[in-house]
Structure 1
Amino acid sequence: MHLSGITWVMVIAAAVWAMLLARTFQIQVVDGEKYRQIASNRAQDRTIRVAPRGRILDRNGNVLAQSIQERNKDEANKWDTRRVYPQGVLASQLLGRVGRDGQGLFGLEYQFDEEFRGTDGWQIRVLSGNRVVQAGRKMEGADPIPGKDLVLTIDKNIQEIAENALKAGVEKYRAQSASAIIADPATGEILAMANYPSFDPNVPLTAKSQAKQNDCISKIYEPGSTFKAITAATAIETKSVNPKTVFSGEKGRWAFGSGSKDVIHDDGGRDHGDHDMTGAMAVSSNIIFAKIADSIGDEKFFSYIRKFGFRTKTSIELPGEEVMPLKELGEWSGRTGKTVGFGHEIMVNPMQMVMSYCAIANGGNLLQPTIVREWRSSDGEVLERNSPEKVRRVISEESAAQVRTMLRKVVETGTGQRVNSKYLSDIYFGGKTGTAEKYSSDLKGYDKSKQISSFIGLVPAENPSYVCMVFVDEPKGSTSGGATAGPIFRKIMEDIYFSPLISPAYYNLENIVPNEKCNLEFVGLSRIAAKKQADQSGCPISFVNGENEGSTVVATEYDFENGGRKLRLGSLRLQKMPDLKGLSLRDALEQIGELSGVVEYEGKGWVKRQIPEPNAPLKRNEKFKLVLSEKG
């Protein structure tokens, strides 16, 4: 059959139409779900909403680490999260840092990475034809759950004081490094944990590996004479030695056996003379403390060394704590017990030493050290609060008190005399110096040219608020603990007591041996008038923020190094009393820091009452009184 051209066209058109119908049926019905999903994916996407990493705060709420969001340079609609450390180098080894993936690498950032991370959320976003996010059109999603905030026991101000003192000490004594720990002996809270050199975690590529190391928990060393306090405490507690018993100093050389190694010398073979336990502690006689340890007996001494915590880690909430296993009693030679008595043949870390001295300071209880004060939610709710944890009672209150008296004598008349502060006339320090040669594997013995010098102090000596340890690695020149670590300790304590924000007592010029020529009022004077008044009286002054910063003296502090005054220039803008109710003491003092007058306060916690009242007119030399309470 012959078909015309028109008929062929119609047949072909019908076939094409049938094919189109079939294809449409397949797309819309048979494969409909598949193509709807493809279209949906092209019109929207799923993005991860990274959970904000929890912050790290000091005990007063100062931010030490936090995460911020920054717009991505390449993708306008993308935000990147960056970890920042607002205080720079402060407590850098303690805090650690995070990597590019936001994961903690070391320090607290590593230890509590899971708690800081929180839970990521997600969001479906609607896109336009060219895959640009359409603003205002949102679909389902899940909000991220922020990580927890960590509040430390660290006090930012005390930490800063310690770090500044260490830096100055390392430079002065040309040391490799130095570290300090400051603890509250009543609670085991660590108020400062400082190391120098340090690094800025905001620019980690500049940091050397040593600068990232937290020597306060990872340094293993022989404690030297600082261990004599442990020996004395054991001897008194076990009644092995009457503290009044006088021992011979053996003229600086004691041969206790027939072997060539059965000889103990005092420092440089010096003859310290004959002493009872207190005198031996003051002059730091190795020979007498070897005899005291021998009187205790190895088995009893070994037992108390363990009780003081020297066999195990302190388990502070930080990674990287190192300990050297205590030599088993069966491995002790006839010499071991005697040399351990003055801090040789035993390896410790600084945190172990601090906590053992805390036991002496608090009346005999070994406490669990802690760096964690509390955990909070992102909106400030307290989720968990730490309480002091007693590990065990090691010695009695009476034994602890006797050792504290001995430690006071060390500073009063012995090797720690350089620790005495002439500026804190009514605050008595106690403590013990220590100097130990470092062991050299190359020499297969002690290297006399490399030493670790240390000082552990109690302040005040009889009823301590602080236990502070300073140790200096490889100082040059004068290397004894009393000549290096001791002065650094003194500087730290002086700065703490002269800081009105952190001092356990309110210290001002009345607490110092004053320069009568500086008994002047400078606040409110112009720079020129202040200089004129100082020159007429013969009072040395300096301007701590330069002579061109503002025109009026707004604050002063005592310059106890030069016997003068330090003046800060600025503008006295406050004319009325601010409302301080509900503020912490620190914040309240900052509010009124530029006002002329004397501040008195009582209690602790937050301001509940103030004199003058809020908005009251202020006069020069105003007297301010703050009443604080921890109750709401």
Structure 2
Amino acid sequence: MASEHGCLIYEKKEEVVRPYVFVIALFVIYLVLALQLGRVQILEHDKYQKLADRQHYKRVEIPAHRGSILDRSGKILAHSIETHSIYANPQEIEDKASVSEKLASALGLDVSRIQKVLDKDKKFVWIKRDVGKKEVQAVEELDLAGVDIQQEGRRSYPCGKLLSQVLGFVDVDGKGLEGLELAFDRELTGRPGYKVVNRDGKQRVIFKTENPCIPPVNGDNIVLTVDLALQYILEEELDKVFEHRKPLSATAIAMDPATGEILALSSRPTFDPNFFTLSSADQRRNRAITDSYEPGSVIKPLVVSGVLQQGLISSKEVIFCHNGVYQIGRRTLRDVHPYGNLTVEEIVVNSSNIGMSKVAAKSGDKGMYEALRLFDLGRPTGINLPGEAGGMLRHYKKWTSYSGASIAMGYEVTATPLQMITAYCAIANGGTLLKPKIITATVDGGDGATKKLSERAPGRQILARDVAAGVMTPVLTRVVDEGTGKSAAVEGYKVAGKTGTAKRIDTTAKGYGNAGYVSSFIGYAPADKPRICVLVMVNKPSGGAYYGGTVAAPVVGEILRRSLNHMESIAGLSDGSGINKKTI
């Protein structure tokens, strides 16, 4: 009995203690919860507030509109068209299989392809870029959590192949890859803005007007010196010679001799920047600035004007040309036609190689070198285009005993087409070497302010006017009137210019072999007050004809004729030069 009584007392005590233990335990639990809540609410408030904001608020980028590229009168050459793209945050999508099926149906895509994209451990993936209005509407109606629509700009080139190697192109993200799109990518791009939006429990966006919103700063518009009408003329004539002569390549440039402004420029083969992925590097190459050639006889006026400027020779000096055959050491020089005595002027008019070799001998290697350095041969012109080559002009101390004669005929020296036409413009304008320009102004994407970039630079007077206008222009006019450039003549205008026919180096053998020719002509008009200078260079024409006077000169003549007619037709919009000066 005593034992049973003791157990009873123990059980009663246990019944009394148990509630207290339960209360204490409950108190401890509540205390721990209170401390944890206090830590979350007070000590880690900022941390969890940010997590909550991240779930309920979203910062959405507002893309800047990429600036346009315009010709000198404001015609659009490149611009961005508003489009939309579909993207997703895979971490916000619960049923990825279901979302993949719905998106595939709305966008016409393969389900497995979308599923693979959504399976990535990322917060941002593109589903489809540059979608149409119907696809945008279909995705909006689906109202899928974690899937959104981004406004973008798709680059468009409304003139297609026209000026394509100068304009370049952009990638799918709107970043410049070549040409002006690359060179002025920062100015064209602008600066994106952003807006803050609310999201509901299903992560759907709800925009509230009181949320912060910073508008984008659109990219600048770039205004070129190019005249679209002249560009069309130049490219049409370039196409004709490219189709007729079937060369490896061909280049044409038109420049204003008074300002150094590029009025038109193109090369063949070419491409359409709207479909640049279908083109080759060879088609996209801007040969006017990237490719250097041995110029042949078009260098002769530069040599003669340079040595005249130095006073090393007189334009009226008579030189015996050995009746068409002349021996220099082990080399035999020949002229196309046999000449006896010729003045220095007549040597240029008749393009006598023997006469030029003797001009070189009279001038000396240093004099010859200095003559060509006046025109900055061997140095890039500094035009605002990527990839410009500088050509080659070795220092005279590195020349051989034959170099002077070779260089006087346009060999052992290389230059780009742009360098050559820039040099000719110095003769045409009376002796001032100008830096070529292709940008005339930028228009601010924010406030619309226009910043002029092509105010005429002072340039550098490299030739006396008596040499350039008094001697060389009349000589080059005779080349067209009575010499090798007759096919460049334009009715109603005096044209000055020079032909060139240079052997191409044979890369498979020593020397020149049978690698063909580079045919060229550079001319300007009207000769006494030039408004336009044009170069055409045809690399390895086929079909038998290869002389510059036969292949290139007629093309320059036709470009000059059509361009001058166009200038006359718009004279009322110009400053009297016949070139449209109106810009936006």
TM-score (norm 1): 0.75
* 1:483-531 alpha-carbon deviations (Å, 9 max, x no partner): 11111112212221333xxx1x23xxxxxxxxxxxxxxxxxxxxxxxxx
Provide the residue aligned with 1:461 in structure 2: 527
1:201 and 2:273 aligned:
yes
Provide the residue aligned with 2:41 in structure 1: 28
Provide the residue aligned with 2:462 in structure 1: 394
Provide the residue aligned with 1:218 in structure 2: 290
Q: Within 5 Å, which residues of 2 pair with 1:268-279? A: 270-279=337-346
State the shift of 1:77 in Å: 3.0
SS of 1:144's partner is coil
SS of 1:483's partner is helix
SS of 1:412's partner is helix
Which residue among 356, 379, 383 is the counterpart of 1:316?
A: 383
* 1:171-207 alpha-carbon deviations (Å, 9 max, x no partner): 1011111111111111111111111211111111111
Provide the residue aligned with 2:563 in structure 1: 496
State the shift of 1:8 in Å: 8.7
1:413 and 2:496 aligned:
no
SS of 1:241's partner is coil
State the shift of 1:337 in Å: 1.3
Provide the residue aligned with 2:183 in structure 1: 111
Asked if 2 retains the 8 angstrom alpha-carbon contact of 1:150 and 1:374, the reply is: yes
Asked if 2 retains the 8 angstrom alpha-carbon contact of 1:189 and 1:371, the reply is: yes
Which residue among 330, 337, 354 is the counterpart of 1:260?
A: 330
Aligned residues with identical type, % of pairs: 32
State the shift of 1:5 in Å: 12
* 1:566-612 alpha-carbon deviations (Å, 9 max, x no partner): xxxxxxxxxxxxxxxxxxx6xxxxxxxxxxxxxx947649xxxxxxx
Asked if 1 retains the 8 angstrom alpha-carbon contact of 2:63 and 2:152, the reply is: no
Asked if 2 retains the 8 angstrom alpha-carbon contact of 1:368 and 1:388, the reply is: no
- With 373-382 and 309-318 compared, the bigger mean Cα shift is at 373-382
* 1:71-121 alpha-carbon deviations (Å, 9 max, x no partner): 114555322232222221111111111223432222112212222222232
SS of 1:322's partner is coil
* 1:463-495 alpha-carbon deviations (Å, 9 max, x no partner): 211111110111012011111111111221222
State the shift of 1:288 in Å: 0.9
1:433 and 2:499 aligned:
yes
Which residue among 88, 92, 95 is the counterpart of 2:167?
A: 95
Structure 2: which amino acid aligns with 1:435?
A: T
Whole-angstrom CA distance in 2 between matches of 1:297 and 1:19: 100
Provide the residue aligned with 1:139 in structure 2: 211
Whole-angstrom CA distance in 2 between matches of 1:86 and 1:368: 29
Q: Within 5 Å, which residues of 2 pair with 1:2-13? A: 2-3=14-15, 7=19, 11=23
State the shift of 1:385 in Å: 2.9
* 1:515-566 alpha-carbon deviations (Å, 9 max, x no partner): xxxxxxxxxxxxxxxxxxxxxxxxxxxxxxxxxxxxxxxxxxxxxxxxxxxx
Structure 2: which amino acid aligns with 1:419?
A: A
State the shift of 1:139 in Å: 1.8
- With 73-82 and 464-473 compared, the bigger mean Cα shift is at 73-82
Whole-angstrom CA distance in 1 between matches of 2:49 and 2:448: 45
Q: Within 5 Å, which residues of 2 pair with 1:213-612? A: 213-256=285-328, 259-261=329-331, 263-267=332-336, 270-378=337-445, 379-401=447-469, 402-421=471-490, 425-476=491-542, 477-499=544-566, 503=567, 505-506=568-569, 601=572, 604=575
Structure 2: which amino acid aligns with 1:86?
A: P
Change over 3 Å in CA distance of 1:311–1:246 after alignment to 2: same
* 1:361-391 alpha-carbon deviations (Å, 9 max, x no partner): 0001111111111122025311343222233
- With 164-173 and 106-115 compared, the bigger mean Cα shift is at 106-115
SS of 1:89's partner is coil
TM-score (norm 2): 0.81
Structure 1: which amino acid aligns with 2:168?
A: G
State the shift of 1:305 in Å: 1.1
SS of 2:158's partner is coil
Structure 1: which amino acid aligns with 2:45?
A: G
Aligned length: 505
* 1:596-631 alpha-carbon deviations (Å, 9 max, x no partner): xxxx947649xxxxxxxxxxxxxxxxxxxxxx9989
Change over 3 Å in CA distance of 1:95–1:603 after alignment to 2: closer
SS of 1:446's partner is coil
Structure 1: which amino acid aligns with 2:373?
A: R
Provide the residue aligned with 1:536 in structure 2: none
Change over 3 Å in CA distance of 1:21–1:215 after alignment to 2: same
Whole-angstrom CA distance in 1 between matches of 2:355 and 2:281: 41
SS of 2:345's partner is helix
Change over 3 Å in CA distance of 1:134–1:630 after alignment to 2: closer
In structure 1, the gaps of 5 or more residues are 507-584, 586-599, 606-627
State the shift of 1:306 in Å: 0.7
Provide the residue aligned with 2:142 in structure 1: none
Higher normalized helix content (fraction of residues)? 2
SS of 2:236's partner is helix
Provide the residue aligned with 2:101 in structure 1: none
State the shift of 1:273 in Å: 4.5
Change over 3 Å in CA distance of 1:33–1:345 after alignment to 2: closer
Structure 2: which amino acid aligns with 1:227?
A: I
* 1:398-422 alpha-carbon deviations (Å, 9 max, x no partner): 111211111111111111111123x
Whole-angstrom CA distance in 1 between matches of 2:415 and 2:536: 14
Whole-angstrom CA distance in 1 between matches of 2:563 and 2:187: 33
State the shift of 1:138 in Å: 4.8
Whole-angstrom CA distance in 1 between matches of 2:398 and 2:149: 68
Whole-angstrom CA distance in 1 between matches of 2:314 and 2:43: 100
Structure 2: which amino acid aligns with 1:241?
A: I
SS of 2:547's partner is coil
SS of 1:275's partner is strand
Return the structure number with greater relative CO, CA threshold 8 A, min gap 6.
2
1:161 and 2:230 aligned:
no
In structure 2, the gaps of 5 or more residues are 1-12, 87-126, 128-146
Structure 2: which amino acid aligns with 1:386?
A: S
Provide the residue aligned with 1:128 in structure 2: 200
SS of 1:125's partner is strand
State the shift of 1:254 in Å: 0.6
Whole-angstrom CA distance in 2 between matches of 1:390 and 1:629: 19
Provide the residue aligned with 1:624 in structure 2: none
The Cα RMSD (Å) is 2.6
Structure 2: which amino acid aligns with 1:416?
A: G
1:151 and 2:228 aligned:
no
Provide the residue aligned with 1:578 in structure 2: none
Asked if 2 retains the 8 angstrom alpha-carbon contact of 1:251 and 1:272, the reply is: yes
Structure 1: which amino acid aligns with 2:539?
A: D
Change over 3 Å in CA distance of 1:629–1:446 after alignment to 2: closer
Change over 3 Å in CA distance of 1:97–1:61 after alignment to 2: same
